[in-house]
Structure 1
């Protein structure tokens, strides 16, 4: 049995979009010491592929981080299988808020050094000594306390489309930078309540443990992140202190929490919070694009990319041969590709 998917991704995406199968999008994580991450990864691939699971999972010696979709009819079997693994028994599963099940089109499980790139040496502190977890009501209470500082532990392109009111929104590209910003901001305010949040909770697990390690006493984190918060306020009929969209790392690129649109199109400046990836395979820039600009630029970030995708496929392949652009994200004032007049 092959332990990797070798089918063309475009074909898999077309198949996924065409199927009427109902699926559920789920994210979960767990810090746990794995003595043999490779063996665990291979067995997990076999088991999840048999259940029709799609998605992206990172496995490391420190645990697991997963964003997946599961066939609705296999959800119970999937959960039972997961909970049969002793260290994942009872694991919290964050179910997507706004979901049509078309979030992933293949199963990808990778072994990495860490399940989240944080730049920390885990041997220097207790990663299990995390901050106090608070639910939606607890978050609201702390947020209303003038002695509380709220920090968004996500990247700039995530907070640009949605965030908690009154939160500090560091203008950074990586979680590693985020940690340093949080440390610097709070250095002289160790008597304050430090309240952190992220998408599903995983970044705050490590961040809160680090902040406690360097001397902060009143460290809190939103349990289950924005995803769980959105479910709780809906169930309990609470007003939302989060405005806009929650950016997610799958095909949807966002879950709407409130109707507020707080971002603008990166090409024309009109109110918009819909992320997209440039259609040019040699670019794939992640940016915000409104429907009018989508039509004008044919799903591309620029006239140059629009012209490129009009070329024959073999010419496009030759143009991008040997080029590895990595993850390209639009940032105001730092993009040479987008011609924009955002406000």
Structure 2
């Protein structure tokens, strides 16, 4: 029985083109106490593989975090299967605003220690003891209150291209880093301030809300469904949109545009730009912001050094990479010294 993906991304892309079927990009998460995660993982793969579901799914004892692409004709059957799992019945599905049939090209269901890496060794707090969820309308009212502190729980490269007006945007590389920073900054206001958090789809805020409640914060709120659901509600209900720019997403699209505001700059020339790319040099693959002019001049690379390497024949590039792991620049997300106008 097949329990792992066997097709390459290139092979899958060809099959998607040949099928000519619309696909839906969506995401969901759920904190829950799961017993045998290996059985649960295999159960998901077997059922979703038959439905041609693609995506990146993490399962752990604390729950599930899923980002998926589902063939539109198979969506109802996919939803039926979700509802057959007790703790996933009627789980909120965040449907992407901008659809791309190739947002995911493999089905990966992976077992993790946690569905959100938090670096915490504290097992004394319950991740299901979450803060108050608020919809877009209540969120807009809350953040107008002078006693509210609005915090972006995402990383610097995400908030750089889009964030809510007036939000605190910690200059961090990881979710774990932001937890301590926020607690330290607000340690004297655990009872008199309203802590309101948001992230892409809600999963990081939900864990953070449980953590901050555990740490003694009395008024903890999170934007239900994150930026994805907020944008949908703003559009369908005609609400004021307090978000600026793009929402970073973790698939091949890299971002969804929420408003026409461009709040970031090309990391190479400094011109207004909010397009994330990965360096074409496979040995680098750095994530950074690049405008079309710089992309043309540097052949979609982050530096002249990478451009020169990328011009070499494939066999020479492979020889240079042999025995070496990718540079840790890939994890710096736009902080490379090669970028003159990095944040």
| TM-score, length of structure 1 as denominator length | 0.95
Q: Which residue of 1 aligns with 2:102?
A: 102
- Is structure 2 residue 75 aligned with structure 1 residue 75? yes
d(CA) in 2 for partners of 1:55, 1:266: 29
What is the CA-CA distance between 1:311 and the residue it aligns to? Answer: 1.0
Q: Which residue of 2 aligns with 1:238?
A: 239
Q: Which residue of 1 aligns with 2:249?
A: 248
For the 8 Å contact 2:287–2:333, the answer to whether it is kept is: no
For the 8 Å contact 1:26–1:93, the answer to whether it is kept is: yes
User: CA 1:36/1:342 → structure 2, altered by over 3 Å: closer, same or farther?
Assistant: closer
For the 8 Å contact 1:54–1:105, the answer to whether it is kept is: yes
What is the CA-CA distance between 1:20 and the residue it aligns to? Answer: 2.7
User: 3-state DSSP class of the match of 1:163?
Assistant: strand
1:85-110 residue CA offsets vs partner (Å, 9 max, x unmatched): 11110100010112233211111111
User: 3-state DSSP class of the match of 1:123?
Assistant: coil
1:8-41 residue CA offsets vs partner (Å, 9 max, x unmatched): 3344345546753201111001111121111111
Q: Which residue of 1 aligns with 2:127?
A: 127
Gaps of 5+ in 2: none
Task: Give 1:283-322 correspondences, 5 Å limit.
Answer: 283-322=284-323
User: 3-state DSSP class of the match of 1:118?
Assistant: coil
For the 8 Å contact 2:265–2:341, the answer to whether it is kept is: no
d(CA) in 2 for partners of 1:309, 1:41: 38
d(CA) in 2 for partners of 1:292, 1:330: 23
For the 8 Å contact 1:58–1:109, the answer to whether it is kept is: yes
Gaps of 5+ in 1: none
1:71-122 residue CA offsets vs partner (Å, 9 max, x unmatched): 0111111001111111110100010112233211111111010000012245
- Is structure 2 residue 222 aligned with structure 1 residue 221? yes
d(CA) in 1 for partners of 2:200, 2:98: 14
Alignment RMSD (CA, Å): 1.6
- Is structure 2 residue 29 aligned with structure 1 residue 32? no
User: CA 1:43/1:115 → structure 2, altered by over 3 Å: closer, same or farther?
Assistant: same
What is the CA-CA distance between 1:337 and the residue it aligns to? Answer: 3.2
User: CA 1:107/1:28 → structure 2, altered by over 3 Å: closer, same or farther?
Assistant: same
Q: Which residue of 2 aligns with 1:184?
A: 184
Q: Which residue of 1 aligns with 2:49?
A: 49
For the 8 Å contact 1:198–1:204, the answer to whether it is kept is: yes
d(CA) in 2 for partners of 1:239, 1:280: 42
What is the CA-CA distance between 1:330 and the residue it aligns to? Answer: 5.0
Q: Which residue of 1 aligns with 2:330?
A: 328
For the 8 Å contact 1:94–1:228, the answer to whether it is kept is: yes
What is the CA-CA distance between 1:188 and the residue it aligns to? Answer: 1.0
Q: Which residue of 2 aligns with 1:142?
A: 142
Task: Give 1:142-221 correspondences, 5 Å limit.
Answer: 142-190=142-190, 191-221=192-222
User: CA 1:21/1:155 → structure 2, altered by over 3 Å: closer, same or farther?
Assistant: same
d(CA) in 1 for partners of 2:17, 2:168: 38
d(CA) in 2 for partners of 1:31, 1:342: 35
